[in-house]
Chain A
Amino acid sequence: MALPPRKAKLPPQGSSNYRGAYSVVEVSKSISAKPNSSSTKARQASSPNNQTTTPSSSKTSKATHSSAPKSPANGNPAVWPDSLKAYVGRCFASVGPSQRGAMEKNLKKVITSAIESNNLWTIDWDTRELPLEGIKAVDDGEDKLEKLKKDTKKRTDEKSHAGTGTGTMRTITSPSSVAYKSPSITFSKSDQQYSTTNEQAISSSSKATKRSAKWDQRSEEPASIEDSAKRKTISIFADTSYLSSSAEQQRKEKRLRRFDSPTGNESTPTPIGTPDYVGTTFVQDTEPEKFVGRSIKLEKKYLRLTSAPDPETVRPLHILRHTLDLLKQKWKSERNYAYICDQFKSMRQDLTVQLIQNEFTVNVYEIHARIALENGDLGEYNQCQTQLRSLYAMNIAGHPNEFLAYRILYLLHTRNRSDMNDLLIELTDEQKADDVIAHALKVREAVTDQDFHSLMRLYLSAPNMGGYIIDSFIDRERHAALEIICKAFRPNVPLRFLTDEIGFESDKACYDFLEKYTLNQFIDESTLRLRTKEAYPTAQNNRATAFKKIDIKGQI
């Protein structure tokens, strides 16, 4: 069970692998292929900004409008000098993963201004200083541009990445890094002003991919799924004007097909003369690297994921450690199960999406399982138990014997004979020798033998949280015991005896139980003895009812 959920929660992960294999090759291809495709690219590239009549740009803000016409003024800037590409590469190579967002910003400024000033092809990128000073390092930036940048960013990021130099740059420098890397640039929010459908397409397709946190580790490779996703978006919202040629249609279809099979991008060589934008063929990042969240909030409400997780809301391991401490403390002081369960679920989710499987994970599941047991929440317990089984199978340290014992008891609760059989077959001698497991096995035997005398003693002496699981089926067994007692003992039995034999700690508790199930009417108030013969039919009924109930795996 451990592996499937991972897949389930990160659906694109698997499919990304094969695509990734091609991306490195494609990077070089895209760079070398530049001269061929330049003119067509330019056509496509410049158009989004020219097309103030397209539905999308008509919706954009005034600021965007004012900046948009500027880019095409560069002529055909969509194609970059090779030296610029190399420059960008150097820039990113020069910074650590944590700096990439800042670098991205800087570069964008540098390049935007180069385009604005029509210097894209004149600047000697080979000798140009790297913009290492962060925002201060931007030397070419004009004030006006600085101001505009904020407005245009959304546009350039989202929409005209294929048109303006910024867009093209992002092909190389990984647009997704903008999306995920630097919290300051978040187009998933800003692009709302675009159009709802496009926004949907963008956010869902970008969320649906895994690249996200990979950017912490990677350097050169472009992330193109987002590119292509965005490009798809472009073709959706701008199809009236510049993407309407049949060649364009074919290209779009081809592009769609490319996602169908691993060989897709090989079978779709960039045709000369079609506006196949450099990025289109590299579909995916390389190796599926670890997803690492960036949230630093300790608490988080559990929300079932319906799309790929957003690293902004996922807490990394070191934060989760603090979370666990906090939750333990809160549980001790507040004992609010609804809250604690919710918090643990979100923690488990964060662990799952980040594929964290270590002793901490085991610890979280164990604690949650215990708390769930303590609160009679067998459904939640069972989820933890399932995960724990596979974690223990990976030889991660924890308390496997304790939880194996719980599992035996749980199988008694659900009366799952075949699983119990399987479990017994796998038991080793060492496991059988373990006190806690031995106890659970004795409970099993007592239950199958209907040996209520032993069962009740085992119940009252159950180690750890075992008693809580037995709680869930003890009433059933009490009814069975009462039926047997009423059948076998004559003429009566003292209440004291019943208290012992059906496992209550006081006569009062026992009497309450009998009262609840209308057996108290057969008790002589003076002698406090149960007239067994008269009580037998009622006891029979009670038992039948108790065993008829359909188990729903202990959900509450």
Chain B
Amino acid sequence: MADQAPLTLLCLFLPFLAALLAPAAVRRFGHGGSWALAAAPFLSFLHFLTFLPQISAGEVVTGGYAWVPSLNLSFSWFLDGLSLTFALLITGIGTLIVLYSGGYMKGHPQQGRFICFILLFMGAMLGLVVSDSFLMLFVYWELTSITSFLLIGFDHEREAARRSALQALVVTGLGGLSLLAGLIFLWNMTGVTQLSLLVHVDDTLRQSPFYLAALLLLLGGAFTKSAQFPFHFWLPNAMEAPTPVSAYLHSATMVKAGVYLLMRLSPVMGGTAAWEILLPFFGGVTLIAGTLLAIRQTDLKLMLAYTTMASLGLLVMLTGFGAPHAVEAAVLYLVAHSLFKGALFMVAGLVDHEAGTRDLTKLGGLRRLMPITFAAALLAALSMGGLPLFIGFLAKEEIYYALAHGDLRSIVFTLVAIVGNGLMFVAGFAVALKPFLGPHVETPKHAHEGPVLMWLGPAVLAGLGLLGGILSAVTHHFISTPMASAVAGEPTLVEISTIPHLGMPLLLSVVTVAFGVIVYLQLERARDMMIRVLAAIGSGPDRGFDHVVSGLVRFSVAATRIVQPGRLEIYITVTFILLALTLLVPPFVYGEWPAMPTWPDEVLFHEWAIFLLALIGLGALLRANDRLTAIVSLGIQGFAVAVIFLLFGAADLSFTQFMVETLSVVILALVMTRLRLSPRDHRPPRQFGFDAVISVACGLGFTLLLMKATQLPFNMQLTEFFNAYSKVIAHGANVVNVIIVDFRGTDTLGEIGVVMITGLAVLALIRVRLRNPLPGPRADAPVEGDRL
């Protein structure tokens, strides 16, 4: 086969390219621009279709480019039955969603931006499922969270939308961190950084002592992304997003990323006790909670949102169940769910768009006005309800094959599945039938059939649900068998057909449907009951999220008040106390005090003079009445030190010291006048004493450090190197300067960068003061109360 790598790479980036063009295309062609933009995902879709024969023959396609070879990082992809099915769903449904967005957002001033975000998300999601390297997987995983944030908060002028967007980002972002930690665990445990290699790591992971930690971290990522209980609350809130987003991200694709991860890891991490307890338990709870919450809703979108949550629970439960056929069931249900739920969401959006409301109690009798929409809704609901001929039926039969066994665990989960499926049946038909049947109800807008852009999506998806069921052999050959083999980690044949045949699964299906029909007929009463039950329970995790967030904000405010009180005096005091401790504690602890130096035999006259000068500076500083005198006295002391440097042969050092002393005095004097400080020191005696102790401790510490340093044997290696080579290879006689500009030039470059940034920062501080002169009373306040 010809080398397809460049083409595949292009297809992975096509959605991003289209996203760049989207605003311009919509500005130029209006909502019709979506036809052109949909070409990008469609081309990707066609390209991925060409892989079908190869993948269904059991092959695996890998490809990619080295990125940072020294760190073993690559941009590489990995296509097997699992990732290919996901890629087809993402690009295929993505094409329809772009078209649908063209109709749904028609005339919206930000339509271009909206389609741009959708395409960005598509590129991220596509990258996620085909990623081979862990790092790529993580980066794309986070990208989907970010694009989801942008899309949920699209209507950013409403507070509810902003809150939901932030909530989704926080929950899935935390999950992302958990995933990253989990991936690092995997890497450390197995030594591989690629999913394609991970598959070959037999039992290493399961037997590792870190298995449970890695599993919990990875589940943290998967459960938040796939909205499993108790992290489910962000998903219904995400329905603040425009309907195309709900149909695409929050039912068909993004929320399945967590399920994808679990399926991907199932061959290497599945089958253990922890796996088969945690996954079915949380999945089962999510399934039941989701369906119960769904039937209490009257809003079409919210009903669908909760059933999506329930379906994700069902998928997680099946992935972790561990019995034969469970994986096949999960695979079939995943595909079926993407088709029917995507279609139903688009129907809900279409009804909302045309009738002006999506409240079940305010809708009715639309079947004559919107026949195509009604047909699509009906087909999708039949698939969702799991009735024969539809792909949903295949999935449900397979689920009961997997679950219906004699032991207690199987019986419990069979019951969970029956209740869950039955209630989802109710919700599905409530969405598909209630708005269309019965007497006509007057709606806010006069309803009529939507534009082709909008009904195309649901019609195609619902039609595929029927086609996939009837042509089950084709579905199995190309989709379910390769995908199930990838998830199971061994060749697995899916061969369930849509012709009902007698047996336990069919019986359970009949029970499910019967249960569903009964509840459907009693929907009003069931809803009232659920509302009462929920009122009795009180607040849920959604409220809890608010409490956690506001608690976090209060905590950080309190912590900042302690760490950053905003008073320069405190910062300086703390800094110097720590400095003194650093200098004095180690010699005290290790008993490494320097030996007292002996008094030199002969001290020359000029040396006495310099010491005297330094002492005069010190005395003048201590006796100074006002600050300006103190600063100048400090300068005298500094000059004396510079002269000492000069005497001992450090000409460069001395030179610099002179200049720095001069400039310090000038700048300090200027700062004093600028800050309008009171000329005198107003510190009370107690504080004066405290500050004196700190400064004496610092001075003592430095003296001891320097004495100790000179008493230790000195390593002359560097000195000798620089002396030997300064002239020879760097052409300079002044070793100090050669070190600065040549041997360690890159350090100097960094340092002058710091000098420049400091200059800018000081300038900014002074400017701030210029623009906001301190208010009256504070301007004359003593320095202790001042802030720089």
**Do A and B bind?**
no
Q: Footprint of B on A, CB under 8 Å?
A: none
Q: Footprint of A on B, CB under 8 Å?
A: none
